[in-house]
Amino acid sequence: NELLGLLGAWLRGEQYHGQHHLRGASSSLRPVGEGLADLIGNTPLIQLASLSEQTGCQILAKAEFLNPGGSVKDRVALEIIQEALAEGRLRPGGLVTEGTVGSTGVSLAMCAAAFGCHAFIAMPDDAAIEKAQMLQALGAEVQRLRPVSISHPDHFVNVARRRAAEQPNAVFADQFETVANFRAHLKTGQEIWEQTGGHVDAFVSGAGTGGTIAGVGCYLKQRRPAVRVFLIDPPGSGLYNKVTRGVMYTREEAEGKRLKHPFDTITEGIGINRLTANFARAQVDGAFKGTDREAVEMAAYLLRNEGLFVGSSAAMNCVGAVKAARALGPGHTIVTVLCDGGHRHMSKFHSPAYLAEYGLTPAATGRGLEFVA
């Protein structure tokens, strides 16, 4: 009946006033776009009402899970491929290679296909099998390799780099080092600036390659130098030390010093123990440490209070936003990024059995933020 009412009103040329009319949608609909590339970026910026209410700050989040590949990495993949095409390093029919366990592979496979190219993704064989299957379904060639140190020629990153060097019309995406990653996120920063009308006091993000925190942070600071940029760093990552004390241990050093293992967190996509070119571009004012428990509780909190089902790095970013709100005090506008949705995390971060195994079952008590230290 609702549908018939809508259709009848539409046929009579009347405005429909039923309960479910699309509030505000007509004003923000975009004109006809040009395929996949036009679906990437320009994501909504949403207010997280409950976090804002609880902290007294306005907490805003960029809904990157709405990109067609499901994550913020679509922006980077598109920029890398468009740059390579523009510079003539890649032509239709060519190959884009990357060594990755994360979302970048999915984004590269989709964007490569959109430009008549294809992707080769090398990954360690202990990564979830669904990841390899998904990449294959997206048309990528996948090679799974025994995990070895980054200094070993058979490390998946080195295999991907070599593969691109071995054949013509092939490029190594190199997301950790390439400036195209940084440039893609200058655009993210510009979107945030425009969406907030320049009313932004702080940006908070975790870092994997560092592209997001560097690109967004640099854009915002260039527009308004007083904007503060904060890192939220998961357990085992060396970036917190890098920002706060100027030192970073390599993985070998970390193990030698019996510091935490670099991969002892369930947050995926953030945390690293080497200084990448993209993180080196970042202007970071301060850093917070986040725990797995805080991330798990935040994901449950966001679902309960906002109806948002997010991945682990997005949850950790929101933990960072709360910490930044407390550090700055009420009245500030703080922006962060919802990197991806929860769907890609069903076997770990959103698996009750997996969480129980690690003693991380969310307590789900009340509506407060007492779980954020």
Name the residues annotated as catalytic.
73
Count of residues interacting with ligand PMP (CB under 6 A): 16
Least Å distance, CB 223 to ligand PMP, is 20
Q: Find where tokens 């357990």 sit.
A: 235
Cβ proximity to ligand PMP: between 60 and 207 the closer is 207
What one-letter code names the amino acid at 271? G
Taking only Cα atoms into account, the Rg of the chain, rounded to an integer number of angstroms, comes to 21
295 scored as a contact of ligand PMP (CB under 6 A): no
DSSP 300-339: HHHHHHH---B-HHHHHHHHHHHHHHHHH-TT-EEEEEE-
Cβ proximity to ligand PMP: between 157 and 332 the closer is 157
236: left (phi over 0), alpha (psi -120 to 50) or beta: left
Cβ proximity to ligand PMP: between 262 and 269 the closer is 269
71 scored as a contact of ligand PMP (CB under 6 A): yes
Least Å distance, CB 151 to ligand PMP, is 21
Work out which of 195, 313, 333, 336 binds ligand PMP, going by CB under 6 A.
313
DSSP H or E stretch at residue 20: none
Cβ proximity to ligand PMP: between 140 and 332 the closer is 140
292-306 vs 312-328: helix crossing angle, rounded to 10 = 90
Site for ligand PMP in 38-57 (CB under 6 A): none
Site for ligand PMP in 203-262 (CB under 6 A): 207-212
Contact of 218 with 281, CB cutoff 8 Å: yes
Q: What are phi and psi of 144, to 5 degrees?
A: -100, 130
Cβ proximity to ligand PMP: between 55 and 71 the closer is 71
DSSP state of 142: E
Contact of 70 with 104, CB cutoff 8 Å: no
User: Which of helix, strand or coil describes residue 291?
Assistant: coil
Work out which of 58, 97, 103, 333 binds ligand PMP, going by CB under 6 A.
103
Separation of alpha carbons 37 and 79, rounded Å: 10
Least Å distance, CB 212 to ligand PMP, is 3
Site for ligand PMP in 144-203 (CB under 6 A): none
Least Å distance, CB 133 to ligand PMP, is 18
Give me the sign of the Cα torsion angle 156, 147, 109, 174: negative
Least Å distance, CB 355 to ligand PMP, is 18
Each residue 340-369 as x (binds ligand PMP by CB under 6 A) or -, in order, gives x-----------------------------
Separation of alpha carbons 159 and 172, rounded Å: 10
269 scored as a contact of ligand PMP (CB under 6 A): yes
From 333, 329, 309, 325, select the one nearest 369 (Cα to Cα). 325
Least Å distance, CB 102 to ligand PMP, is 4
Q: Find where tokens 């190594």 sit.
A: 172
119 scored as a contact of ligand PMP (CB under 6 A): no
Work out which of 41, 102, 189, 235 binds ligand PMP, going by CB under 6 A.
102
With CB atoms as reference, the residue minimizing the distance to ligand PMP is: 269
* Interface residue list for ligand PMP (CB under 6 A): 71, 73, 102-103, 207-212, 269-270, 311, 313, 339-340
